A and B are shown apart, each in its own frame.
Chain A
C-alpha cells in the first residue's frame, strides 16, 4: 500500500518535470510549425511510457540503489573499516584502496544503467549504420567513468587541487582530438555530458560527501565536489582513446597487408 502511494507521489513529481518540456514543444508545434506531427497518438503513448518508465525507475532507485550506495560509501570510508593510519587521524592514501576499487566499480555499473546514455548510444548506432555499436560505446564510456571517479576519489583523499586534474584532462582531450577521426569527435564530446544523470549523480555525490566528511582535515562543502566533473571528463578521453586505438589497429593492418584494403573496399 505504501509502495503504491510512493509510486503515485513520484509519478506526480515526474509529471511536473515533464510539463514544462511538453508545454514548450506544444507551443512551438501549435504556433510556429502549425502542423500536427506524424503519428500523434503513437507519440502521446510514447510520452506516457517515458513518464511511467521514469517513475518506476526513480521509485526503484530510491528503494534499492540509493540507500545501499550511501551505506556502502559510508562503511568503506569509516576509519574503523580502513584501520591503519586512519584510526590515528592521519591520512595515508594507500589505506583507501578499497575506496578506489569501489569508486571504479560503482562508476562503471551506474553508467551502464544510465538511461540518457542508452538513448544517445541507440541514436549513434542508428545514424552510423551500425559502424558504432551501442553496447561498445556504452562500455567505453563506463570504463571512462570508472577511471574518472576512482581518480576523483584519490584526489579527495590526497587533497590536491581539482583544477590541475581538470586542466590536465583538457590538454589530453585536445591532443587526442588532433589525432582522432573527425567522425567520432562530436559523439565523444557528447558522451561526457550524458553519463552524469539520474543514476550516477546521486551515488557518486554520496561517495564524495562520505569521503570528504570522514577524512580528517577535509570539509564536505569544499572538498566533496568535483567527482561529477571527473565523471564527465574521462568518458570523453575513453571514447576518443577507443577511436584512436581502432584507427591505429586498422592502419597497422593495412601496412602489413597492403592487399587487405582492396578486399575491404571492393
Chain B
C-alpha cells in the first residue's frame, strides 16, 4: 500500500512538472488569440484533449529518460572505456550518429524542401527523378556528417582538446564555405544544423559524452563531456554547402 502511494506521488509530480513546462505555450496562444486576433478559438475541445496528451506524453518521456536512455548510454560509455578499444568506440560513435540521423523525419522533410528549392534555382531538373536523387543525396550527406561529428567529438573527449578551438575552427570553415556555395543552398545549410538532433538522439549522445568523460581519468564531465551535440549541429552546415557546390 505504501509503495503504491509512493508511485502515485511520483506520477503526480511528473505530471505537475510537465504541465508547468507546457504553461507558457498555452499562455502565449491564449493571449494572441484573445487580445490580438480577437477571434473565437477553433476546435476548443480538440485542443484541450491534445494539450492533455502532450502533458501525459512529456511525463512519460522524462520518466523513461531517467530509467532507460541515460543509464544505458552511460553504462555503454563506461563499458567501452573499460574495454579500451578505440576502434570499436569510434565504430559505435559513427553508427549512433549516422543511424539516428538518416531516418530522422525532420531531416527527410527538409531534404525534400531543399530539392524543390534547388529546382527553383535552376541547379537541378524539375522532374521527379532528379528531385528524389537530390533529396536522397542530401540526407545521406547530413547523416554522414553527423556520424563524423560524433567520431570527432569522441576523439576530442579522449584527447582532451578544448571544445572552443574545435567549434571556432568549424565556424571559420562555415564562413569561408558560405562565400563559395551557391546562394540557394546557404539558408538550407544553416537550418540543417538545427534539425538533425532528434529527441531520442540527444539524451543518448549526451549520456555517451558524459559517461566517457567520467570514466577517462583527467577528464571533467562538465567541460569535456558536453559538446557532442554542438559538433553534430556544426558539421551538417559544412557538408550541405559542399554538397551544393559539388552537385
Contact = CB atoms under 8 A, between A and B. Distances in A.
Interface residues of B, number: 107
B194 to A, nearest CB: 4
Contacts of B103: 16-17, 20
B229 A17 contact: no
SS class of chain B's interface: helix, strand, loop or mixed? Answer: helix
A25 B72 contact: yes
Nearest to A37: B75
B246 interface: no
Contacts of B105: 17
A222 B31 CA distance: 31
B47 interface: yes
A231 B194 contact: yes
B82 to A, nearest CB: 9
A49 B116 CA distance: 38
A48 to B, nearest CB: 7
A60 B54 contact: yes
A167 B237 CA distance: 13
Interface residues of A, number: 104
Contact of B59 (A29, A53, A221): A53
Interface string A59-85: 111111101110110011000010000
SS class of chain A's interface: helix, strand, loop or mixed? Answer: helix
Interface stretch (A87-95, A180-188, A247-255, A257-265): A180-188
Nearest to A193: B233
A24 B95 contact: yes
Contacts of A64: 46-51, 53-54
Interface in A104-137: 105-106, 108-110, 112-113, 115-116, 118-120, 122-124, 127-128
Interface of B: 21-22, 24-25, 27-29, 31-33, 36-37, 39, 42-43, 46-72, 75-76, 79-80, 83, 85, 88, 91-92, 95-96, 99-100, 102-106, 113, 116-117, 120-121, 162-164, 167-168, 171, 174-175, 178, 184, 186-188, 190-191, 193-204, 206-207, 210, 221-230, 232-233
